[in-house]
Structure 1
């Protein structure tokens, strides 16, 4: 009833999500609840809830008019607005001059412009140590 079918040569079935999608939360838009996203998310509005990126290529950008009240989890994060909550950037965190963070930040690489403010802890997250193979114990046992 609500769908329109076009014959575009596909055989039907489920389609994979397109890589590189961008989601925009426009000014004047407010979302209450947790948000999971993939690709890029650009926030000019307000989100109250946890933002979680799916995938290693995801990125989140918060404009100077944007506001997030809740935690942020994404590989690449660029902030130029207000955040009340912890920020977890597994790859890169960029704080522009109008960024205002009330919470802890967890980052691997940090770029911070003059004027950005953080009211919380800054915690560097290094890569986990690589595990070496266990030594062979059969040859080392005494006879």
Structure 2
């Protein structure tokens, strides 16, 4: 199965991280009391209490809601967060509503 949990406090998360592995596609909305790390594809909205990581090569067709969002892949939807870190190859094809937006365009 493409989703598993691991303990992860590196991104300010208390609790566990759900991981969607490369080559895995999830259809439907996802909610987590911890963090979510996406390496595959999600077709649906994603909500996490702590953070969402959309890794390079990953894709989300839906909205993201979390305290922190790390964007290295592609989101076709809107992002709502306190802080968004947009990496060099990160793309959001929607609106971003955040208190802080950090862009790595180096």
TM-score by length of 2: 0.83
Tell me how far apart the structure 1 counterparts of residues 69 and 83 of structure 2 sit (CA, whole Å). Answer: 6
Give SS of 2:67's match: strand
How many residues of Structure 1 are paired with residues of Structure 2 in the alignment? 93
What's the secondary structure of 1:97's corresponding residue? Answer: coil
Gaps of 5+ in 2: 1-13
TM-score between both structures, scaled by the size of structure 1 = 0.62
Match of 2:25 among 26, 30, 37: 30
Q: CA RMSD in A?
A: 1.1
In 2: Cα distance, 1:67 partner to 1:38 partner: 21
**RCO (CA 8 Å, sep 6+): is it higher in 1 or 2?**
2
Q: Runs of at least 4 residues of structure 1 off by over 4 A? A: none
Comparing both structures, which one devotes a greater share of its residues to strand? 2
Match for residue 46 of structure 1? 41
